């Protein structure tokens, strides 16, 4: 019997759980076509940044010219956005072109951190043809006066603002750094979110000791990055059994996909492996998932999904402190540290 790989994410019916995550590759029409040819279930376009929209608004109102004299010094602190990505109009054009080029569901992406007028542009993303919207919240709480409650309320208000602007499904891509991830997740769903993408990958600065300048370097994820989303998807599936959950860090192999499905993911999002092996890897992952299911006599992804989540008593401890203690107790020191006999 052929296993049924179909799944549902935010109400979108998908043929299987392998989705192309937001990355520069999905900003290329040729790459979208190759991904579709390889069988990808859906694609998330690169993010349109809050700063890009604000920049467009400033340009439209001749912000720099109007305030050049009053804020001459302050203007030096604005980044030069003219060469930065594409801007709202080109992003809308890319959505339209993507919808014309492929039949795969196209999910637009907004990257922002503040509730404000820019969220009204989400309506234009919907009108351009996006099947859903992913909100990538990249918020660094670096103000000593900003409490944890302030930060969480910020997320909730942002989701509420977007849901007032659109009718298409909305997922929220969040980071792991909350005092109670299940609680904020439940609040985001109550605010109108249709799904959660676990986790946003934060990028961190480094310091060049020769030049004493800040540097940035983007490294691709490996399967070792899987464990944090694996843990929290398992916990969230147990706490929020009807939630729509996407795993989006460290997905590189069929084994990674199966593990996340067992924990409770509805879909798994890939990016790094696309850079390593090309879009054709999607067909390999689909075939690998099918073989794994059929060899173990699973009839469907639905049967597999969440079968090892924290909602089951037998697995609850594995997601909590018991597993932590077990790993420490059983950890073997490297041979180089052992004294010779």
Query: Domain for residue 273, yes or no?
Result: yes
In angstroms, rounded to a whole number, what is the distance separating the alpha carbons of residues 334 and 336? 5
Parent domain of 149: 7-337
- β 267-270/206-208 pair status: unpaired
Tokens representing residue 76 in the block: 């030096």
pLDDT exceeds 50 at position 204 = yes
pLDDT, residue 338, reads 64
CB 254 within 8 A of CB 292: yes
Residue 65: other Cβ atoms inside 10 A: 9
Query: Domain for residue 2, yes or no?
Result: no
Query: Domain for residue 316, yes or no?
Result: yes
pLDDT exceeds 50 at position 69 = no
Q: Where are the beta strands (DSSP E) in 70-139?
A: 106-112, 132-137
In angstroms, rounded to a whole number, what is the distance separating the alpha carbons of residues 208 and 210? 6
Tokens representing residue 299 in the block: 């009839």
Across the chain, what does the average pLDDT equal? 87
113 SS3 class: coil
For 339: left if phi > 0, alpha if psi spans -120 to 50, otherwise beta; the answer is beta
pLDDT digit string, tens, across residues 124-164: 999 999 999 999 987 777 889 989 999 999 999 999 999 99
CA distances to 39, 186, 287, 301 from 283, rounded to whole Å, are 6, 34, 6, 17
232 SS3 class: helix
How many domains are there within the chain?
A: 1
Q: What is the pTM of this model?
A: 0.87
pLDDT exceeds 50 at position 84 = no
Tokens representing residue 95 in the block: 């959505």
Query: Domain for residue 278, yes or no?
Result: yes
Query: Domain for residue 148, yes or no?
Result: yes
Query: Domain for residue 1, yes or no?
Result: no
In angstroms, rounded to a whole number, what is the distance separating the alpha carbons of residues 221 and 217? 13
| Residue the block writes with tokens 């979110």 | 193
CATH of the domain at 235: 3.20.20.70
Backbone φ, ψ for residue 299 (5° rounding): -85, -25
For 7-25, what is the mean pLDDT? 98
- Helix (H) / strand (E) element for 19: namely strand 18-20
């Amino acid at each position: 019997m052929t296993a049924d790989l179909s799944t549902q994410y935010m109400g979108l019916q998908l043929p299987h759980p392998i989705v192309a995550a937001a990355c520069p590759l999905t900003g290329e029409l040729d790459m979208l076509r190759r991904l579709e040819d390889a069988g990808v279930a859906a694609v998330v376009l690169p993010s349109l940044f809050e700063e890009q929209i604000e920049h467009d608004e400033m340009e439209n109102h001749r912000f720099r010219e109007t305030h050049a004299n009053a804020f001459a010094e302050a203007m030096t602190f604005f980044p030069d956005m003219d060469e930065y990505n594409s801007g709202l109009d080109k992003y809308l054009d890319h959505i339209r072109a993507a919808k014309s080029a492929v039949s795969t569901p196209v999910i637009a992406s907004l990257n922002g951190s503040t509730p404000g007028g820019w969220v009204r542009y989400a309506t234009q993303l919907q009108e351009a043809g996006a099947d859903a919207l992913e909100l990538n919240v990249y918020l660094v709480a670096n103000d000593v006066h900003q409490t944890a409650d302030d930060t969480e309320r910020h997320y909730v208000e942002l989701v509420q603002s977007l849901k007032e602007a659109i009718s298409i499904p909305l997922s929220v891509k969040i980071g792991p750094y909350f005092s109670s991830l299940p609680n904020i997740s439940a609040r985001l769903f109550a605010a109108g979110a249709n799904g959660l993408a676990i986790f946003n990958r934060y990028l961190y600065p480094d310091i060049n000791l020769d030049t004493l300048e800040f540097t940035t370097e983007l490294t691709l994820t490996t399967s070792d990055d899987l464990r944090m989303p694996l843990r929290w998807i398992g916990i969230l599936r147990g706490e929020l059994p009807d939630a729509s959950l996407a795993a989006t860090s460290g997905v590189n192999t069929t084994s990674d996909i199966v593990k996340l499905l067992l924990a409770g993911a509805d879909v798994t999002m890939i990016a790094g492996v696309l850079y390593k092996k090309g879009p054709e890897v999607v067909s390999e992952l689909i075939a690998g998932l099918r073989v794994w299911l059929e060899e173990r006599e699973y009839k469907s992804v639905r049967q597999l999904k969440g079968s090892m989540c924290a909602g089951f008593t037998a697995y609850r401890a594995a997601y909590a402190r018991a597993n932590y203690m077990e790993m420490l107790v059983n950890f073997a020191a490297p041979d180089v540290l052992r004294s010779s006999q």
